Amino acid sequence: MSAPGKAGAAAEAVDLKAEMRRAADSLGQPAHDQRTRAVTSDLSVDEALLLHSIGWEAVDVVFGASVVSIPPGVWTWGSGEITSASDAHNLAVRSAAKHLGEQCAGVHGHGVVGVQVGVEVQRHHVDVELTGTAVRPVTGKDRNTVFVSDLSARDFTLLHNAGWGPIGLAFGASFVYAPRRSMGTTMRQSSQNVELTNFTEAMYAAREAGMEHMQRSALDMGAQGIVAVRVSEGPMWFASHAIGFTAWGTAVRLDAQSHQYLRPEVVLPLDDAVVEFEAQALR
Amino acid sequence: MSAPGPPDTDDVDRDPGHSAGPGDLPEAAGRRLGGESFSSGLTVPDFAACLHMGLRPVGLVQGFCVMQWGWYGAGSPYMRGMNPYSFGGSAPRGVYSESYRCPHGGYVYSNEHRIWGQNYQQPWVESAWAEGFGSSYTRMVEEATEVGAHGVIGVVDSTRHLADMNVTEFHMLGTAVVVEGAAAPPGTPWTTYLAGQRLAKLVESGYMPVSVVASLASVRVWAYCVTEILMEGTLSAWGGGYIPVSEVEQLSRAHLAARSLAREHVRSRLGADTLQGALIVANTQSLSQGDEVIECTLRGTRVRRFKDFDPLPAARPTVRLT
Amino acid sequence: MTQPQDLPKEAGHRLEELEHGLFTSDLSVNEFLLIKEAGFHPLGFVMGSSIYHTGIQARRWNKSQELTKLTEAMYNARELAMTRMEEEADALGADGVVGVRLDVNYYEWGRDAAEFIAVGTAVKAEDGTSHRNALGKPFTSDLSGQDFWTIMQTGYVPQGLVMGTCVFHIAHRGIGQALGTMGQNVELPNFTQALYEARELAMTRMQDEANTLGATGIVGVRLEEKSHQWGSHTIEFLSLGTAVTKSAGDVTLPKPITIISLDN
């Protein structure tokens, strides 16, 4: 905190107390803006300021939601990939992203940042919820296509400064049946340390297929890369013999001629992680 | 204790109708707020930032409202033994509602085959929530007015369902502050969820908090046959056996509607201002076979621009050395 | 060394060792450096404890009321633990205690008995000026090293960890009452009043403590609600904060620099 500021920045420092008085007095007066439509945003102050620093602003909180059915019977034993489950998944994400994009375009946004992705797979349906804030350049014209990104406004700003831009949500899902072990095999393996090769293969296949679907969706958008990929995997709670794998991230593309380097400074912070005060530890 | 109207009736922050007398507050609050010293719920960094921008804490202020709570709610048509199948699908005017018809050519409604269904907004739930939130807000603001505050910062609100009592408590808490060197408060104090450096940055960038704003939207889904079949994976004689992967239109639309309604409720109270730092929480309560109640709350601080935008010095990218 | 009033012998021995210049503390390196930055030196880890038997008080099923006996028990037990910790700090010649934590432990062997513990790090000003509070005792505070440095920068000094408590019984509702308002989401003014009253009592008591210390105000007030082992209708409302006094004129913090961290 006590590190010396740049010469210019220190000289410009505003008198915060005077600003506060001016701000408080302003509430009794008519609004400064002649804007007619209210803005809503779920960005933090920092994020809003960062967006402003690159000439962008928030427009509106936007939503996308979709519920897609999974045909009955797909979770019962079988082999290979459970395609109708991954189809349902893809349809739900695409449809929710479409709603999100429509709401964004409806308020003249250029894209949606900080999208929170909520995905829930049930036996008979997949629920997808997307929530984010539509943003646009302050002086920008409307665009035909809007981007959807789960990157925070902060990440968006940093990427923008480096010459990159998000295109859309890349998404992939894959579900496979865990192979059945015959009674004989189970008995034989019960006292041994052996690799369960068919399980390894099943998990491997699920991952590969999920990632492949995600990459395919990014390539279809014309992306050069996918950043901040998040994955979730594991057996389905309602059908433990079925293993699900989902992966999503933001597809990005270099907008500028070449990558712009940020050249960060090095700091040594003296903060600890916040210590929760606990008056009573109850057991 | 009088229950003032919900805050969405008008500009809650400026509305003199809400600045009711201190008679509403319990005796204990009067003694505490009249004391010599102040109390503040601010953390030390927030307290330091608060002094830094010329805000002097004058007291911790709070408001409560305990409401009887059942999800049916007052005024709900099915409390009078009605459901959309018997009241003919006529929802109150001006609220969201959509009907769905059976495509299978059924004529008679039965539990085995619901020939039609409906999504509709539940204004009676929304207004009860607004009353609870609004009353606790008004009481907190009353306490702040009593100590002569200009504003209330670092507001925290919570809703708690008290176990086995079927009641819900709305609680709001914040630190009342005086703007040093400013004229006496012109009206009802302003309020904000922000405190500390975040508030300082907001003011420095040209925004002044006006009030905390929140809303709840509630949408009830009565499933019709198609939704029920898709959600339950029931092989239906009507549906023709195999059911392909398909979007459950009725539910997708209901989920979207609940969220959009919450946003529009809040928007109706913003005038031309901005809602900053919105927090959105959606909950779905599944009742049976595709029947659902979807509730969405949205809260944030209403802020108003008081000067032209003047960008702060560009942030310097740093890497931490640890 | 002043002889502590009611501390166990073992504590006296441990404290004597600390007088030979060794310090112990649960402060992190960052906190240690910031406490030095604020002009203080850590002396040692201090604690106080009290095992208290909380009595039983009859409650009326349908009446909301404060359970004064339980309130007293909860208050006295914490106060005892705090006082013992202060005595340890006093024995070290400390100016104050930072990073105080209060805990309650329940043990298998003692029904209705609970151990109240207070721990913290005793500190002393390096320039020899006394920072003891209005009562001539070492100040106590739950501030972390970072918070301690920050508050000293603002020209406020901590006086003591202050608290107020109120154990309240919330009435059950009679069946008649519940039926009368069935199916309506309406306000229940009696409940609102009861909860309001309970919290205000806790906060007022805390404020009274601050006034005794001659404090200008209390920062970092928290309201905690626990049912302990009493069932859901009996709730302890505990209010805690650090009382502070203004010691100097306006000391403004250095203007923070805007940074954007590239760390995760």
Residue B227 has pLDDT above 80, yes or no: yes
Within 8 A of C199 by CB-CB distance, chain B residues are 62, 64
Within 8 A of B150 by CB-CB distance, chain A residues are 24
Section B126-150 average pLDDT: 92
Kindly provide the residue ranges of all beta strands, DSSP E only, lying in chain A, ordered along the sequence: 39-40, 56-69, 111-121, 125-137, 147-148, 164-177, 225-236, 239-254, 265-267
Q: In a mutagenesis test of the A interface, which of B198, B201, B252 is the best target, namely the one with the most A β-carbons within 10 Å?
A: B252
DSSP string for residues in A92-128: HHHHHHHHHHHHHHHTT-SEEEEEEEEEEE-SSEEEE
pLDDT of residue A9: 41
Half-sphere exposure of C226 (CA within 13 A, CB side): 18
Candidates B13, B208, B318; nearest CB to A24: B208
Q: Please indicate if any CB of chain A lies within 8 Å of the CB of C147.
A: no
Chains adjacent to B (≥3 CB pairs closer than 8 angstroms) = A, C
Q: Please indicate if any CB of chain A lies within 8 Å of the CB of C60.
A: no
Q: What is the pLDDT of residues C73-109, one digit of tens each?
A: 888 888 899 999 999 999 889 999 998 988 887 766 6
Q: What is the pLDDT of residues B199-219, one digit of tens each?
A: 988 888 888 999 999 999 999
Section C227-244 average pLDDT: 83
Q: What is the ipTM score, two decimals? A: 0.82
Whole-prediction pTM = 0.80
pLDDT of residue B70: 63
Contact B28 C200 (CB under 8 A): yes
Per DSSP, A140 falls in state P
Q: In a mutagenesis test of the B interface, which of A60, A63, A266 is the best target, namely the one with the most B β-carbons within 10 Å?
A: A63
Distance CA C105, CA C88 (A): 21
Q: To the nearest whole percent, how much of chain B has pLDDT over 70?
A: 72
CB C140 within 8 A of CB C85: yes
| Local confidence pLDDT in tens for the 283 residues of chain A | 333 333 334 334 568 888 889 888 888 776 666 667 889 999 988 888 888 888 899 999 999 999 999 988 888 767 778 888 999 999 999 999 999 999 999 999 999 999 999 999 988 899 999 999 999 998 878 788 899 999 999 899 989 989 999 999 999 999 988 776 666 666 666 677 777 777 777 788 888 899 999 999 999 999 999 998 988 888 888 887 888 899 999 999 999 888 888 887 777 766 665 443 333 322 2
Q: What is the pLDDT of residues C160-188, one digit of tens each?
A: 999 999 988 877 765 555 555 555 677 77
Which structure tokens are listed for B42? 């601010």
CB C11 within 8 A of CB C88: yes
More confident residue, C111 or A198: A198
Mean of all residue pLDDT scores within chain B: 78
Residue B237 has pLDDT above 90, yes or no: no
Question: Phi and psi at residue B17, in whole multiples of 5°?
Answer: -60, -20
Chains adjacent to C (≥3 CB pairs closer than 8 angstroms) = A, B
Contact A158 C33 (CB under 8 A): no
Section B98-107 average pLDDT: 79
Question: Phi and psi at residue A75, in whole multiples of 5°?
Answer: -85, -10
Q: Is the dihedral angle over the CA atoms C34, C40, C42, C46 positive or is it negative?
A: negative
Of A97-101, C193-197, C248-252, the range with the highest mean pLDDT is: A97-101
Residue B4 has pLDDT above 50, yes or no: no
Contact C220 B173 (CB under 8 A): no
Chain C nearest-CA distance from B238, in A, is 38
Q: What is the pLDDT of residues B15-68, one digit of tens each?
A: 333 333 344 555 555 666 666 678 888 888 888 888 888 999 998 999 989 887
Nearest to B299 by CA among B2, B1, B7, B17: B7
Candidates B39, B313, B316; nearest CB to C217: B39
Contact B231 A39 (CB under 8 A): no
The three-state DSSP-derived secondary structure of B12-63 is CCCCHHHCCCHHHCCHHHHHHHCCCCEECCCCHHHHHHHHHCCEEEEEEEEE
Distance CA A124, CA C188 (A): 42
Place of tokens 């909520």: A118
Chain B nearest-CA distance from A185, in A, is 34
Contact A63 B260 (CB under 8 A): yes
Contact B32 C223 (CB under 8 A): no
* Cα angle: C197, vertex C200, C203; to 5 degrees: 155
Residue B2 has pLDDT above 60, yes or no: no
Candidates A32, A44, A269; nearest CB to B305: A32
More confident residue, C196 or A179: C196
In chain C, the residue whose alpha carbon lies closest to the alpha carbon of B2 is C189
Contact C263 B51 (CB under 8 A): no
Distance CA B236, CA B242 (A): 8
Of B242-256, C103-117, C219-233, the range with the highest mean pLDDT is: B242-256
- Determine the distance from the C-alpha atom of residue B289 to the mean position of all C-alpha atoms in its chain, rounded to a whole number: 28
Within 8 A of C154 by CB-CB distance, chain B residues are 47-48, 51-52
Distance CA C39, CA A56 (A): 45
Q: Please indicate if any CB of chain A lies within 8 Å of the CB of C256.
A: yes
Nearest to B29 by CA among B131, B190, B147: B147
Contact B315 C204 (CB under 8 A): no
Residue C14 has pLDDT above 60, yes or no: yes
Helices (H) and strands (E) in chain C, counts: 6, 9
pLDDT of residue C250: 64
Nearest to A69 by CA among C182, C136, B244, B21: B244
Candidates B198, B280, B308; nearest CB to A42: B280
Within 8 A of C38 by CB-CB distance, chain A residues are none
In chain C, which among 212-241 make CB contacts under 8 A with chain A?
Answer: 222, 224, 226, 228, 238, 240
More confident residue, B175 or A280: B175
In chain A, the residue whose alpha carbon lies closest to the alpha carbon of B200 is A16
pLDDT of residue B100: 87
Whole-number Cα distances in Å, A121 to A281, B82, B276, C156: 36, 34, 32, 54
Which residues are bridge partners to A171 per DSSP?
A: A248
Place of tokens 């006296």: C12
